[in-house]
Amino acid sequence: MTDMQNGRTVVSVREERLEAHNSNELKDLIHKILEDGAHNLIVDLGQVQFIDSSGLGALLSGYKNANLRAHLRWRVCSLALSRCSNSPGCTAYSISTLACRTRWAVKAEGPAG
Amino acid sequence: MSETILNLDIVVPNQTRYLRVVGNIAEQIAKELDTRNCDQDTLAYHLNLVLTEAVANAIQYSGGGAKETVRICLSIENNDLWVRVYDHGQGFDLAAVPTPDFDDVSERGRGIFFIRSLMDSVEYHRTDSGNVLEMRKKLT
């Protein structure tokens, strides 16, 4: 679902799982929004409880695509992976680490805004 | 003498729409296990991810049409959880799958890395009846 909020394009993923079955759809949507000239894009994962490698790939694809465009602000927010956030070896930690290494602006909690 | 506590055989069409079903089954099984040394929710999430990655790989490499299936076997033997995912594709060389370069924002190539990170052993065999990705997790 795509929405405009205060000049920002917000893509809200209304799925509990971002995985091989639906990640291409998100990837294509992000690319289309960037092609259409969006300058400030937020991907809101507030409802997402599970991300696999292809879901992560879709987000990385968006990040790469956004990074190619000057003056474009890219954010991934509301990463709702709190179920195992206390375990140092957990998947959420791994994904957060990947996020840091790829210098995403990841906001761990809170709505898009 | 080995003791088998659980032996579950699941066959799903090789379509990604069934990944959710497979992942949910994995989570429910993890929540039924007697896990003394690890957090049950964490194990459930890990199993969900491992099985989702393995089945997605099997679907991708099966090369078959909609009538093809993916077989998944889950068993607990001597405090080890075994997950076996069978496919009928051309197979791949597990040893040749590299660890991802985290400085490179490549979109692909992390599925096997996740599986290797979360399981205690991962092997891929070619058999007469197809290929099997065999993964083991120690429960205690």
What is d(CA A43, CA A26) in angstroms, rounded to the nearest whole number?
Answer: 10
- Residue B9 belongs to a domain with what CATH number? 3.30.565.10
Can you give the residue range of the structural domain that contains B42? 4-138
**Could you tell me how many helices (H) and strands (E) chain A has, helices first?**
3, 7
Beta carbons of A60 and B106 less than 8 Å apart = yes
Query: Which residues of A fall within a CB distance of 8 Å from B110?
Result: 53, 56-57
**Does the CA dihedral B132-B92-B110-B69 come out positive or negative?**
negative
**How confident is the model at residue A105, as a pLDDT?**
36
Q: Strands A40-44, B80-87: parallel, antiparallel or unpaired by DSSP?
A: unpaired
Beta carbons of A87 and B53 less than 8 Å apart = no
Query: Which residues of A fall within a CB distance of 8 Å from B113?
Result: 53
Read off the pLDDT of each residue in A68-93 and give the average, rounded to a whole number: 49
Domain limits of chain A? 2-107
Look up the ipTM and state it: 0.87
**How confident is the model at residue B83, as a pLDDT?**
96
pLDDT tens column, A48-66? 888 899 998 898 888 888 7
DSSP secondary structure letter of residue A79:
-
Higher per-residue pLDDT: B112 or A90 = B112
Give yes or no for residue A89 having a pLDDT over 70.
no
User: Chain A: nearest CA to B3, how far in angstroms?
Assistant: 29
Q: Which helix (H) or strand (E) holds B7?
A: strand B4-13
β-strand partners of A5: A8
Identify which of B72, B50, B41 has the alpha carbon closest to the alpha carbon of residue A53.
B50
B45-56 per-residue burial string, b: 16 or more CB within 10 A, e: under 16 = bbbbbbbbbbbb
Selecting from A60, A63, A91 the residue whose C-beta is nearest the C-beta of B49 gives A91
Q: Which residue's entry shows tokens 């509301």?
A: A78
User: Chain A: nearest CA to B58, how far in angstroms?
Assistant: 12
Q: Please state, as a whole number, how many other Cβ atoms lie within 10 Å of the Cβ of residue B23.
A: 24
> To which CATH superfamily is domain A2-107 assigned?
STAS domain (3.30.750.24)
Read off the pLDDT of each residue in A26-48 and give the average, rounded to a whole number: 86
User: Chain B: nearest CA to A8, how far in angstroms?
Assistant: 24
Beta carbons of B16 and A21 less than 8 Å apart = yes
Give yes or no for residue B97 having a pLDDT over 50.
yes
Spatial contact of B139 and B80, defined as CB atoms under 8 Å apart: yes
What is the tally of structural domains in chain B?
Answer: 1
